[in-house]
Amino acid sequence: MSGDLTELYQQVILDHNKRPRNRGRLPTATRVAHGDNPTCGDQCSVYVRLDGDRIAEIGFDGAGCAISQASASLMTTQVKGKTAAEVRGLYDAFHHIVTTGEAPAEISDLAAFAGVHAFPARIKCATLGWHAVLNALNGDAVPATTETRAD
């Protein structure tokens, strides 16, 4: 297995793919958003219970490749307890990581996705769950689609 591939499928990613965190519909959700990736058929729904401006609880479900599902899982662990503005900041950092491969030291968990940048076709897989949570925070009912948004 080449360096690029082991970078892409980091242990953290394989682990989140096999044992997703916060998986499942959230009965108490106050916001829901769906993301889909029309070219791949990847899907992701994100359920959020807001407490004021903060994400008190979060869940996700969906189906798709290891990258999309692991990224959504890891995302839920990163955004819980954060405000909408903080989540946007995290997304910006994540987006920088997956598009450039550069990961600042202070955001170690998301850095697992740095290998994605060598596979441009997979960037939209990695950002799918993030688009969904941002839409949920925006109170957007429309499905996030990675085709029409800038990644």
In the bound state with other proteins, the residue whose beta carbon lies nearer, of 4 and 92, is 4
In the bound state with other proteins, the residue whose beta carbon lies nearer, of 6 and 28, is 6
Helix and strand numbers, DSSP H then E, in the chain: 5, 4
61 binds other proteins (CB under 8 A): no
Q: How many residues bind other proteins (CB under 8 A)?
A: 22
User: Distance between CA 24 and CA 14 in Å, rounded?
Assistant: 19
Binding mask 67-106 for other proteins (x = CB under 8 A): x-x-------------------------------------
Say if residues 85 and 143 touch (Cβ distance below 8 Å): no
Pick from 103, 100, 102, 92: which is nearest to 127 by CA? Answer: 92
SS3 at position 134:
helix
65 binds other proteins (CB under 8 A): yes
Say if residues 50 and 65 touch (Cβ distance below 8 Å): no
User: Distance between CA 34 and CA 143 in Å, rounded?
Assistant: 5
42 binds other proteins (CB under 8 A): yes
19 binds other proteins (CB under 8 A): no
In the bound state with other proteins, the residue whose beta carbon lies nearer, of 71 and 79, is 71
Q: Which of 41, 89, 104, 120 contacts other proteins by CB under 8 A?
A: 41
